[in-house]
Structure 1
């Protein structure tokens, strides 16, 4: 380190950079080149699972010059020890206080264990890493443009509930009445994509007629879904219908011409989960229902096609269940279904927490 000396006078002890070793100084055994202690992770620690991920730690100062204000470098690793490079970031020193935080702007797997650590950095030198702190990534839930991710097993929804509903801890959201539904308002319409979810307890023994398990339409009026120009209804006929358990769907792609899926009889079990998935694009649409899981046995799989008008509702309303239309309560939501792991997007369905 070069130090300027005044002729004939003793010089003060070198402090550049401010009592810290320079970046070209010999590294300590732990690899650090900055004379500061390791920061202390504050949260999340000990495997905690926050609703929103904010990594926070205590600030540090130089061992010899307490006036330095270092920045802080964060690192996140998988349970297997691999660094999630997109999450690594250096954040500036906080303006005040004894702690600081970092909100990772990177994609982590939901409901998954990770570790994180942090160290001080200053003038090209780096301090020692903190001890790793463990956490579980949030369960998640968001509406982002025309994409919806809503696990529902965490006691909350990113949608708007209507009518009586019940959150079942660790299981999902139960729609209790014919007028029960959840509305997701998409800021941007989805002209081609997927609407999928897991449903437990929706079966043909429940009171209902041409009942709906999920649906879409053009807003802003929620009560005109029957003849809406952009109607989509996935239907499980209830006990009041002449053929309970009949499964079908109706899709109106904006051209005024209803398109109906083949109606097939299905014997549902109220104790089994079913994966419902509707996909659409200009000219075609398909409803698929699988038992037990997203890859389980298919109980319904029918498609339609042949139109040229794009599906572009504005605003685009997406529902679990369906609002009450002109046909009345029995043709609205099929009550009793518990929903979880809702996905609406043009992208492939992600891995959901189970």
Structure 2
């Protein structure tokens, strides 16, 4: 007698087939090693300027602590500076900066006008990979710089890029005061400026000063006395017994006292003037390989010209002091070789360079 097979409900059959399929799949599964994760670069860390730092330079140095990579190969860095936190536009970008030992740095090669807040960021790159960005912000302080071919010293914020010698006093918002004839500010330039200008705004200049040869500014070769220096250049507003009193004059020497430019007594007598201590005067000495010019304006850099004279050099070669050293005032008083600096003058917005004064001090 034949046995009849029980009828399996349709839904139950589907369920059994599904279970068999799952069972078969599980029995065929093979355990593989996990795929190694893609190597990721660890971002550098901000070193300086730190977040919210006030910096003294218009061209700051950006420094990061190096990032970390789990793989071998050269590592480089990218730096950016922007005036907005989203970096929708950049003022400075530098790529492929080679990694340094422990830290990596780059110098911003454009002026960042003060006082302004800027945002900067950096990341590490290796091959086709790049780390996350790290960022910070800083504010440029009104200050200055001394680099090849250009020197800027604002002096209105209690800071100088020069060396203060003797007694000098910062006057808030106005500049630096030279307190006596034996005091001055000295700038040793990193490179000779063979043609250019040395200019500044000066107040506190009045007639009948106590010294006969009172220097507003001077420059020459080395840090010895400026008197009889082979590259002596100075501008003076002479005082009592100034031959004559209260005259504006200058002297420029090209390598030897045999090649010097200066006015005689008659030339000086035609430049006698009573300056006003409450007025700001703009003084600019400019030179080429063959000439020297002194310009003085009353009322600042955009004021009225009250003195403008040029003398052409008869020969002697280019202006080539090495090292090239410049002064607010003069060091001749300290060396007791001449009458030194104009006592009590207040100086600001100093520029010395082969190019024009920056827009920020025009």
TM-score with structure 2 setting the length: 0.72
User: For 1:212 and 1:299, how far apart are their aligned partners in 2?
Assistant: 18
What corresponds to 2:4 in structure 1?
Answer: none
Structure 1 stretch displaced more, 296-305 or 50-59: 50-59
Describe the superposition over 1:23-79 as per-residue Cα deviations: whole angstroms up to 9, x where unpaired.
xxxxxxxxxxx9x89978985434x42236354678888xxxx96898653211146
Cα deviation, residue 335, structure 1:
0.7
Which of 22, 29, 34 in structure 2 is aligned with 1:12?
34
Please point out which of 294, 298, 303 is paired with 1:296: 303
**One of 33, 51, 54 as aligned partner of 2:56:** 51
Alignment partners' CA distance in 2, 1:84 and 1:186? 28
Structure 1 residue matching 2:120: 3-state secondary structure: strand
Matching residue within 212, 216, 225 for 1:213: 216
Q: 1:266 aligns with which of 273, 281, 302?
A: 273
| 1:236 CA drift (Å) | 0.5
1:237 pairs with 2:242:
no
Is 1:149 the counterpart of 2:152? The answer is yes
- Greater helix proportion: 2
Match of 1:74 among 75, 79, 99: 79
Please name the residue that 2:22 is paired with.
Answer: none
In structure 2, how many angstroms separate the alpha carbons of the residues matched to 1:246 and 1:308? 27
Gaps of 5+ in 1: 1-7, 21-33
Does the aligned pair in 1 maintain the 2:44–2:64 contact within 8 Å? no
Supply the distance in 1 between the matched residues of 2:230 and 2:47 (Cα, whole angstroms).
Answer: 54
CA contact (8 A) 2:261 2:313 kept: no
Q: Is the 8 A contact 1:278 1:285 kept in 2?
A: yes
Q: What is the rounded CA distance, in whole Å, between the counterparts of 1:315 and 1:119 in structure 2? A: 40
Cα distance change, pair 190–44 in 1 and its aligned pair in 2 (3 A): same
The structural deviation recorded for 1:118 is: 3.6
Aligned length, in residue pairs? 320
Contact 1:216–1:316 (8 Å) recurs in 2? yes
Aligned to 2:94: 88
Quick check: 1:166–1:174 contact (8 Å CA) kept in 2?
A: yes
Partner of 1:323: 331
Cross-structure match for 1:3: none
Cα distance change on mapping 1:122 and 1:296 into 2, 3 Å: same
Unmatched 5+ residue regions in structure 2? 1-29
1:309 aligns with 2:312: no
**2:23: which partner in 1?**
none
Separation in structure 1 between the aligned mates of residue 325 and residue 108 of structure 2, nearest angstrom: 28
Q: Distance in 2 between matches of 1:73 and 1:163?
A: 45
Change over 3 Å in CA distance of 1:242–1:327 after alignment to 2: farther
Q: Is the 8 A contact 1:41 1:133 kept in 2?
A: no
In structure 2, how many angstroms separate the alpha carbons of the residues matched to 1:56 and 1:228? 42
Q: Distance in 1 between matches of 2:191 and 2:131?
A: 46
**In the alignment, which of 107, 111, 124 is matched to residue 108 of structure 1?**
111
Paired residue for 2:11? none
Question: Paired residue for 1:181?
Answer: 184
8 A contact 2:186–2:325 mirrored in 1: yes
Which shows bigger deviation, 283-292 or 238-247?
238-247
Query: What TM-score does the superposition give when structure 1 sets the normalisation length?
Result: 0.73
Cα offset, 1:169, TM superposition = 3.8
Closer, same or farther: CA 123–230 of 1 in aligned 2, 3 Å:
closer
Pair member with larger Rg: 2
Residue 250 of structure 2: aligned partner: 249
- 2:357 alignment partner in structure 1: 349
Change (3 A) 1:121 1:266: same
> Judging changes above 3 Å, is the alpha-carbon distance between structure 1 residues 57 and 268 closer, same or farther for their aligned structure 2 residues?
same
